[in-house]
């Protein structure tokens, strides 16, 4: 299952869909929505998020197991450095390994200070590079402390993330190099909103791979895509989310649509911009990760 996913990432078209477990003891209703829309037939795999924005959600590893069992499709489970020390990280990886959750997206995580849980404290023993190093140790048959396991773990496939925009592109290249050196096989970008942005990121990835070639390490770049169908979403992403660049012409088009036709015209214009971009990205670099905040009908409309 995972070998096929990595082969598609390296040699073919590759599309994954993000799912966000909810503030609920049940994840199955989310899976039911995906199945109702037939989304499992339109993607190569899924991902599950890990308490994004430090808000309490259903566990990403359990959610990944449920998705994988229902659709027989590989799932990339996110693990954050915010909530676990190296003991807990390794314990979770050991259990996940036996139940075949073996694609892991390593994140540093949002700060605990923005959590919805009173007085929550972040662990943050290190950034996501530590988790990538732990995975490398596991793939060598030992724990992070260098103690060999009694049974060899099945191979784990590590993924990482990178911003899609920076005033100084060199910083993005250096971050990519760091993820590659620590073993990431795939690097997922924050959402991109122009083909020019995507081309720049791909050039930076090529440079980063060349810098790591002496270590015989490289990674594929996966372009993140988050459809924008509301003016306020575009304005929020542009003003408050570092590492994302929403073009001014997108914001202006949504502003005009809202003023002239209201919510329906705003949605129509935003969807058209998003759909055209997705199709252009797919044609240019068919390795994409679609994020819709569980708006799965939008996901289907974008994918078909």
Average pLDDT, the chain: 96
| pLDDT value for 242 | 85
Give pTM, 2 decimals: 0.96
Q: Which DSSP state fits 163? A: -
In a domain, 279, yes or no: no
In a domain, 245, yes or no: no
**Each residue of 166-185: pLDDT tens digit?**
999 999 999 999 999 999 99
Does the structure show a pLDDT above 90 at 241? Answer: no
**Each residue of 10-57: pLDDT tens digit?**
999 999 999 999 999 999 999 999 999 999 999 999 999 999 999 999
User: CA-based angle 201:224:177, to the nearest 5?
Assistant: 40
| pLDDT value for 194 | 96
**Each residue of 107-141: pLDDT tens digit?**
999 999 999 999 999 999 999 999 999 999 999 99
Sign, CA dihedral 178-191-21-37, equals: negative
Q: Give the integer Cα–Cα distance in Å for 92 and 98.
A: 10
Q: What is the CATH number of the domain that holds 135?
A: 3.20.20.220
In a domain, 188, yes or no: yes
Which residue, 189, 158, 195, 194, is CA-closest to 176? 189
Number of domains into which the chain is organized = 1
In a domain, 265, yes or no: no
Taking CA atoms, 99 is separated from 17, 68, 95, 272, in Å, by 21, 10, 7, 40
**Each residue of 96-106: pLDDT tens digit?**
999 999 999 99
Res. 217 pLDDT band, cuts 50 70 90? very high
In a domain, 234, yes or no: no
| pLDDT value for 215 | 85
- The predicted model gives 229-237 an average pLDDT of 94
| pLDDT value for 81 | 97
Res. 235 pLDDT band, cuts 50 70 90? very high
Could you count the other beta carbons within 10 Å of the beta carbon of residue 86?
18
In a domain, 167, yes or no: yes
| pLDDT value for 214 | 82
In a domain, 84, yes or no: yes
Does the structure show a pLDDT above 90 at 240? Answer: no
User: CA 176: distance to chain centroid?
Assistant: 15
Q: Judge contact between 190 and 161, C-beta under 8 A.
A: yes
In a domain, 197, yes or no: yes
| pLDDT value for 213 | 85
- Structural domain span for residue 86: 2-228+287-303
Q: Which DSSP state fits 31? A: H
- The predicted model gives 251-262 an average pLDDT of 94
**Each residue of 58-95: pLDDT tens digit?**
999 999 999 999 999 999 999 999 999 999 999 999 99
Note the maximum CA span of the chain.
Answer: 67
């Amino acid at each position: 299952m995972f070998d096929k996913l990595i082969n598609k990432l390296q040699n073919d078209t590759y599309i994954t869909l993000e799912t966000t477990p909810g503030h609920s003891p049940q994840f199955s209703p989310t899976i039911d929505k995906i199945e109702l829309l037939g989304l499992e037939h339109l993607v190569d795999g899924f991902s599950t998020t890990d308490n994004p924005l430090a808000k309490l959600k259903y566990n990403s590893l359990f959610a990944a197991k449920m998705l994988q069992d229902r659709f027989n499709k590989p799932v990339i489970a996110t693990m954050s450095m915010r909530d676990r020390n190296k003991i807990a990280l390794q314990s979770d990886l050991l259990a996940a390994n036996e139940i075949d959750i073996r694609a892991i997206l390593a994140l540093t995580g949002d700060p605990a200070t923005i959590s919805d849980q009173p007085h929550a404290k972040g662990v943050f023993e290190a950034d996501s590079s530590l988790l990538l190093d732990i995975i490398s140790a596991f793939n060598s048959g030992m724990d992070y402390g260098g103690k060999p396991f009694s049974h060899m773990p099945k191979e784990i496939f590590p993924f990482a993330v990178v911003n899609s925009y920076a005033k100084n592109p060199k910083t993005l290249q250096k971050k990519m190099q760091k993820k590659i050196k620590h073993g990431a096989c795939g690097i997922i970008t924050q959402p991109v909103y122009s083909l020019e942005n995507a081309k720049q990121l791909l050039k930076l990835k090529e440079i980063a791979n060349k810098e790591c070639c002496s270590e015989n390490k490289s990674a594929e770049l996966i372009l993140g895509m988050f459809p924008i169908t509301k003016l306020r979403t575009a304005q929020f992403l542009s003003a408050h989310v570092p590492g994302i660049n929403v073009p001014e012409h997108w914001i202006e088009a949504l502003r005009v649509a809202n003023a002239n036709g209201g919510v329906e015209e705003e949605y129509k214009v935003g969807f058209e911009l998003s759909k055209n971009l997705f199709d252009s990205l797919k044609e240019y670099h068919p390795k994409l990760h679609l994020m819709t905040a569980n708006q799965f009908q939008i996901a289907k409309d974008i994918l078909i």
